[in-house]
A = this chain, B = another copy of it.
Amino acid sequence: MNLKQLSQMLELSQTTVSRALNGYPEVNEETRRRVMDAARRHGYRPNPSARRLATGKAGMIGYVLPTGSAVDIDPHFVEFLSGLGDYARAHDFDLVLSPADAQDEETTYRRVVANKQVDALYVSSPKPADKRIKLLEQLGLPYIVHGRSEGLHFDYPFMDIDNEGAFHEAGRLLVQLGHSRIALINGQRAETFAVFRERGLRNALAASGLVLATPMIRSFAMTEENGYRAARSLLETSPRPTAIICSSLIMALGVVRAARDLGIEIPKDMSLIAHDDVFPWLKPENFSVPLATTRSSIRLAGARIAERLAARISGLEEGKSGEVWPVDLVVRGSVAGAPTRANS
């Protein structure tokens, strides 16, 4: 069933039917009702390709997916996607993933924009001075960044959580509990969130006259194995840290394993706080010692970004406004006062 057939059936022109369906004012309300009704009854659905060709609007939002044998999409993505998908379903648009060579995403961005394949894009895992943001700004397609870049000389629309504040809080708590040797196991430095988290922790320590020394920082891709290695190398120094703050629950698994291997008890010998993006399949309260976390649902972020993208597409949202969500600090059994000298 296409427009032509429908309009013949109604003995109206395609123009009128099209307008009736798309809510244009220059059509009699009675007629509109008739049209809407017939469309529903016959299950008429405008052909998206035709509509796209005519309007230039795609009804889809896009994401450039970095791929390559060396590239691992991380499991956070799927949670984010859940949120995005929820909103997208409710508002009837699809998502296009355009795989790109991780070495050369620019080509793909340009292609997607030039072809008008999508109405908006979202950008994730922004790096400091991220080129993709510059590019999109220049290409003029609506977009939102999930996270933040740094050192860009213009504003851009983003949605981020307060990584700095979160790790500041976490650090402050540890300091209050008497810890002074606090280590950080972070995600890769190339990611802006890692920069912010480090900064937050550093400032928290500085506020009490403490220093976050380079040897107390590890930055790696967030795998269990890297968490283990980082923790091990930290805990084998002397004097060892009495507390670790860690950027992901998955890494925290490795940290816990390292502590166990070394006979270090949590929280007696060492406190541990990790950032929790809220996975349904791995919960901090179920760690052998319930894990204190800085918590923020990445899924909700996905839904919010979808919402804002939709608003931008339809012109309801403009400007370059950034949005920063606060992060909860959830204290659980993995934190305790710093061990007394006798223990350490």
Contacts and interface: CB of A to CB of B under 8 A. Distances in A.
Interface of A: 45, 47-50, 52-53, 58, 60, 65, 67-69, 71-75, 77-79, 81-82, 85-86, 88-89, 94-101, 111, 114-117, 222-225, 228, 250, 253-254, 257, 260-261, 279-283, 286-288
A264 to B, nearest CB: 14
A97 B85 contact: yes
B281 A111 contact: no
Among A85, A222, A281, A282, which residue has the most Cβ atoms of chain B within 10 A? A281
Contacts of A253: 253, 282
B75 A111 contact: no
B67 A72 contact: no
A81 B66 CA distance: 11
A216 B114 CA distance: 58
Nearest to A77: B78
A94 to B, nearest CB: 5
A73 B115 CA distance: 30
Contacts of A288: 257, 260-261
A328 to B, nearest CB: 20
B49 A65 contact: no
Contact of A67 (B45, B52, B89, B286): B89
Given A45-B111, A49-B49, A86-B67, A282 B94 contact: no
Nearest to A89: B99
Contacts of A47: 53, 115-116
B111 A85 contact: no
A100 B94 contact: no
A59 to B, nearest CB: 10
27 contacts: A47-B53, A47-B116, A49-B49, A49-B52, A49-B58, A50-B53, A53-B53, A65-B95, A67-B85, A67-B86, A67-B89, A68-B89, A72-B280, A73-B81, A74-B281, A75-B75, A75-B281, A85-B97, A95-B96, A95-B99, A96-B96, A223-B282, A224-B281, A224-B286, A225-B281, A250-B282, A253-B253
Contacts of A69: 86
Contact of A85 (B73, B222, B254): B73
A202 to B, nearest CB: 27
Contacts of A45: 111, 114-115
Nearest to A248: B281
A288 B242 CA distance: 22
A222 B74 CA distance: 18
A306 to B, nearest CB: 10
A74 B78 contact: yes
Among A48, A72, A74, A75, which residue has the most Cβ atoms of chain B within 10 A? A75
Given A45-B111, A94-B96, 19 more contacts: A47-B53, A48-B117, A49-B53, A49-B58, A49-B115, A60-B96, A67-B82, A73-B78, A75-B281, A77-B78, A81-B97, A89-B100, A94-B98, A95-B97, A223-B283, A224-B281, A225-B281, A225-B283, A225-B286
A53 B75 CA distance: 36
